Amino acid sequence: MIIIDKKISPKELSKIAKNLFGDMVKAVVDVEKEVVVLDAELHADEEALLLSKESKQNNLWGINLYPEFYGKEEFIEFDSMINIRPSQGNMSRGVDDEKIRKTITNIINNQITNKWYSTKH
């Protein structure tokens, strides 16, 4: 597992994807601390790592990243068993709250960036 503490490129994310699933990387995002964990077989393992680092469970959301779709809507898939939280009003494996989805998207777009693109804009 990798805790993202600096920006990585889509190319680096593609290399990570090849380690386990080929075209996809599981990730858990702490929306409060703006921390991302990548590269595990299960979202629950990434969640456990963040909990051991004093993250709060209600701030952790599981997603899947598809490097080949970087820059497109299909890049981030909001789907994980850890997201089912009736106590928070999230009844699905997705992320039902639009505000939380937007926060996750912003964190991911900030951490995974095409360095050439970001220097031009």
Whether 61 is in a domain gets the answer: yes
- Domain contains 121: no
Does residue 120 lie within any of the structural domains? no
Domain that holds residue 90: 2-115
Asked whether 108 and 95 are in contact (CB, 8 A), the reply is: no
Confidence check: pLDDT of 22 > 90: no
Out of 4-13, 32-41, 75-84, 110-119, which region has the weakest mean confidence (pLDDT)? 110-119
Tally the domains of the chain.
Answer: 1
Q: Is residue 20 part of a domain?
A: yes
Tell me, yes or no, if the pTM score tops 0.85.
yes
Q: Is residue 14 part of a domain?
A: yes
Amino acid in the structure at residue 35: V
Q: What is the pLDDT of residue 25?
A: 96
Distance of CA 82 to the CA centre of its chain: 12
Higher pLDDT, 120 or 85: 85
Mean pLDDT, rounded, for 75-103: 96
| Burial (Cβ within 10 Å: 0-12, 13-18, ≥19) of residue 18 | exposed
Per-residue pLDDT band at 19 (split at 50, 70, 90): confident
Could you tell me the pLDDT band of residue 115, with boundaries at 50, 70 and 90? low
pLDDT digits (tens, 9 = 90+) for 26-78: 999 999 999 999 999 999 999 999 999 999 999 999 999 999 999 899 999 99
The long-range contacts involving 94-100, CB below 8 angstroms and separated by at least 24 positions, are 95/61, 95/63, 100/31, 100/61
